[in-house]
Amino acid sequence: MNYVNRVVQPGENIRHIGRLSPIIFFRPALLILGGFFIGTATTNEAAPAIGLILILLGIIGLIRAWVKRSTTEIAVTDSRVIVKVGLLSRRTMEMNMNKVESVIVDQSILGRMFNFGSIALRGSGSGIEPIQNISQPLELRAAIGR
């Protein structure tokens, strides 16, 4: 929470810290598992090379997901919502609580089972694109609504 700690004003209290869900590691893990299975379980001559490529793509995906999860900061304070995404290039959004008109939570069946989803803030005269794969989106919405 380096960015959030730097921008919180004196007297402003953090109500809730949001995080991206670990579900973002699922697809890269499937690639690694599939690459291992294809590379070892088939008799095709090209199978080891295809398996190795899938494993490498999965490892790259795991690294990207880890960087994305560790560099995304979401915080709700008593006066605003703060979102920071990115490592080298940074995108930030801050919206005052009195400007928030609605909080839209979108969860699939899997999202409801594993408690993750997308959230979008709609403000007076503005809005943001949804932040996807947020862990515990209903708790984040409740913190904004207090």
Same domain (yes/no): 59, 129: no
pLDDT (tens digit, 9 = 90+) per residue, 113-128? 999 999 998 887 776 7
Do 118 and 80 lie in one domain? The reply is yes
Q: Is the pTM of this model over 0.85?
A: no
Range 16-41 average pLDDT: 94
| Statement to judge: residues 14 and 31 lie in one domain | no
| Contact present, 17 and 139 (Cβ < 8 Å) | no
The overall average pLDDT reported for the chain is 91
Same domain, 13 and 33: no
Q: Is 10 left (phi over 0), alpha (psi -120 to 50) or beta?
A: beta
Q: What is the distance between the alpha carbons of residues 67 and 83, in angstroms, rounded to a whole number?
A: 16
Question: In which domain, by residue range, is 122 found?
Answer: 2-20+72-145
Specify the pLDDT at position 137. Answer: 95
78 and 9 within one domain: yes
The answer on 101 and 81 residing in a single domain is: yes
